[in-house]
Structure 1
Amino acid sequence: MRLVVLVVAGLLLVGCGQSEPPPEDPEVAFTVGDTEVSAKPYLYCDVQVQDCKRDNTAQVSLEVAPGTPVLVTVPDEVAKTPWSVVIQYKTGAGEQKAPETVATFAPGKATTFEALPPGAGAQLQTVEVKQAGAKLVRDDKGEPAAVSRGVWSAQIEAPAKP
């Protein structure tokens, strides 16, 4: 009986030493019409933005016609924190525009956003989701700004012309 108790106690100790596998990194969906792609983060950090990992292969590609919106859907894990959508595009006249934040959401306020380039004939080039971390820095105006904890990116290509 004593041996059985020792074996059970030993097994319990071994079981306590095993840890759960780390949770999967959240994925963000980018949808155009009937086409949906899921992106893993190409940058993902702990909440304090101290321990980060980068995966340059995580960016996804989508074929999107000029003037067509891209629906962004974030999981609850991202939606419960501040997050934003950044786009880069070319105008209908072909002028390259710098990346621009087009939406910012408070925790728990939204899980989707429709990213659309402004102006007739404008072509999206990049749609990114940025999840805020707990670390703050000063922006170019001296205001506190959150450092991105996670970044998901869809690279956009115009359809080939026939």
Structure 2
Amino acid sequence: MKRVAIILACVTLAATLITGALVWQLSRTPVPKHPEISAYTREQLVRVGPYRYCDVFVITECDVPKTVGTLVVSWRNPIQLSVPPSIARAPWVLLRAYEGDGEPAVSEFRPNSTLAVTIPTVDPRRGRLTGFAVQLPTLVRDAQNNEFPWPHAEWSVKTVWP
């Protein structure tokens, strides 16, 4: 009986130490304040926090860390963009900028429709991709009572060509 009690005490002590170590390890890497997007290409992964993140109800109250991710790209490898469920459950917009002075290419996604998008690095008409952004639009009204979408949050990634 004494041997069983000692073994039980050792198992309890080991479980407590392992749990404590796990809690310590998890508390060392803080949870990001805002959602992050991920982009992958050519064995590179970048996780990006928002460039700007505003309160949905008070659009003028913003946190502007100006975070911009960077990916080295080539014409052979597309970019795999992933957005977390916290972004994907709302309508969101993907803007792609290309060489030249043209308007960005815009793709709109319905709520809960997708968590990932493949982005070609070269467009046959627009040229090479120079960067892209993910935006969360909110409907706002101006002083004349006109209603229009305005991004309350934006994540940005620039591309670098070798």
TM-score (normalised: structure 2): 0.69
Q: CA deviation at 1:67?
A: 5.8
CA RMSD of aligned residues (A): 2.5
Larger RCO (alpha carbons 8 Å, 6+ apart): 1
Partner of 2:117: 113
Structure 2: gaps of 5 or more residues: 1-30
**Aligned in 2, Cα 1:33/1:67: closer, same or farther, shift over 3 Å?**
closer
**Aligned in 2, Cα 1:149/1:77: closer, same or farther, shift over 3 Å?**
same
Residues 1:62 and 2:66 aligned together: no
Q: CA deviation at 1:137?
A: 4.9
Partner of 2:50: 41
**Number of residue pairs the alignment of both structures matches:** 128
| Rounded Cα–Cα distance in structure 2 between residues aligned with 1:24 and 1:148 | 18
Q: CA deviation at 1:144?
A: 4.7
Residues 1:156 and 2:159 aligned together: yes
Query: Paired residue for 1:124, among 114, 126, 129?
Result: 129
Give the letter aligned to residue 51 of structure 1.
E
Describe the superposition over 1:91-113 as per-residue Cα deviations: whole angstroms up to 9, x where unpaired: xxxx4433221x11111111111
Query: Paired residue for 1:50, among 44, 60, 66?
Result: 60
Q: Percent identical across equivalent pairs? A: 22
| Rounded Cα–Cα distance in structure 1 between residues aligned with 2:126 and 2:151 | 31
Q: Which range is displaced more, 31-40 or 67-76? A: 67-76
3-state DSSP class of the match of 1:50? coil
Mapping of residues 70-149 of structure 1, within 5 Å = 70-90=79-99, 95-101=100-106, 103-116=107-120, 117-119=122-124, 122-133=127-138, 135-137=139-141, 144-149=147-152
Q: Is the 8 A contact 1:66 1:124 kept in 2?
A: no
Q: CA deviation at 1:136?
A: 2.7
**Aligned in 2, Cα 1:146/1:121: closer, same or farther, shift over 3 Å?**
closer
| Rounded Cα–Cα distance in structure 2 between residues aligned with 1:68 and 1:124 | 12
Larger radius of gyration: 2
Q: Is the 8 A contact 2:123 2:129 kept in 1?
A: no
Q: CA deviation at 1:72?
A: 1.2
3-state DSSP class of the match of 2:148? strand
TM-score (normalised: structure 1): 0.69
> Which structure carries more helix by proportion?
2
Q: Is the 8 A contact 1:67 1:123 kept in 2?
A: no
Q: Is the 8 A contact 1:66 1:121 kept in 2?
A: no
